[in-house]
A and B are shown apart, each in its own frame.
Chain A
Amino acid sequence: EADIYQTPRYLVIGTGKKITLECSQTMGHDKMYWYQQDPGMELHLIHYSYGVNSTEKGDLSSESTVSRIRTEHFPLTLESARPSHTSQYLCASSVFQGSSTDTQYFGPGTRLTVL
């Protein structure tokens, strides 16, 4: 069973606030990911990391930033939240399993509402 945690689970904030969504995993996985998902819609990859000090932008244009200083920690920061940022944010991690590709394990998600 995957051990990946996200905090907070729910967040309601006002426009213009700076926020950080936390994600931690205890499995020692090298790869970590952030996805954004609106209700009934597909997952959009916004950031990923191959390991410490590695970060990449995903397919979805995002005004967020990430950092990867420790293997287990991959926080997502919004410098100035806007109502358009209202969504569910999912963190995932994965490990390469031999000749097969990474299997991703997801955290419980953070539901963000920006007023």
Chain B
Amino acid sequence: QKEVEQNSGPLSVPEGAIASLNCTYSDRGSQSFFWYRQYSGKSPELIMSIYSNGDKEDGRFTAQLNKASQYVSLLIRDSQPSDSATYLCAVSSGGSYIPTFGRGTSLIVHP
């Protein structure tokens, strides 16, 4: 059974701070990693995908992948109240390429 673990939170950070969201996974054969943002009552929307070890930056977002330690993280710089949402980590491996989702981490950015 493939597992993707996230701290459910909530993670509370002040506006302008860096929010750090973490995700661990159990399948060593995992190849693709995704971060989705989900506002309350809405559907998930893709923020970033990462496939290789290291960092990938896109605006205020940076995804970090460490396959040896089986974790992937998402950093949000200059956090804004509009970033308040649940962040879902998804992981998939070869074969079916069906991603497994974590339960998500609730982020609250307070003014």
Contacts and interface: CB of A to CB of B under 8 A. Distances in A.
B92 A90 contact: no
Given A43-B44, A107-B43, A101 B103 contact: no
Contact of B43 (A41, A58, A106): A106
A46 to B, nearest CB: 12
B43 A90 contact: yes
A58 B34 CA distance: 19
Contacts of A102: 92, 97, 99
Contacts of B88: 42-43
Interface string B8-34: 000000000000000000000001101
B26 to A, nearest CB: 14
Contacts, number: 47
Contact of A100 (B44, B49, B101, B104): B49
Nearest to A111: B41
Contact of B92 (A41, A101, A106): A101
Contacts of B34: 103-104
Interface residues of B, number: 22
Chain A contact residues: helix, strand, loop or mixed = strand
Contacts of A108: 42-43
B98 A100 contact: no
Contacts of B90: 104
Interface in B85-111: 86, 88, 90, 92, 94, 97-99, 101-104
Nearest to B1: A59
Interface string A65-87: 00000000000000000000000
Contacts of A42: 88, 101-104
Contacts of B46: 103-105
A112 interface: no
Interface of B: 31-32, 34, 42-46, 49, 51, 86, 88, 90, 92, 94, 97-99, 101-104
6 contacts: A42-B103, A90-B43, A99-B51, A102-B99, A104-B99, A106-B45
The 7 A-B pairs at the shortest CB distance, nearest first, are namely A101-B32, A106-B43, A42-B103, A43-B101, A101-B97, A109-B43, A101-B92
